[in-house]
Amino acid sequence: ECYIMVFIKRIDEPDFGCEGVPDNEIICDEVTFVVESKDIVVKIPEKIVWQYELDENMEISYSLYLEILDLIK
């Protein structure tokens, strides 16, 4: 099996302005992954971003990337 690294290019958090976060709303960040030279933007609940300690300019394994995608189906 070939070893693919996935790069986290950027993480954009939503801006709710002065109203703040609506009640009962799941906050999702837009995470831009680079997989085999392609940018892939995925909306991921912020709690998963925190749980996995994802950060910009970080490399993760392809298996972890698939695990995260599996969580957000």
Report helix, strand or coil for 38. Answer: strand
pLDDT higher than 80, residue 50:
yes
DSSP state of 22: P
Rounded mean pLDDT, 33-37: 96
The model's confidence at residue 2, banded by pLDDT at 50, 70 and 90, is: low
Q: Residue 36 has what pLDDT?
A: 93
Q: Residue 21 has what pLDDT?
A: 76
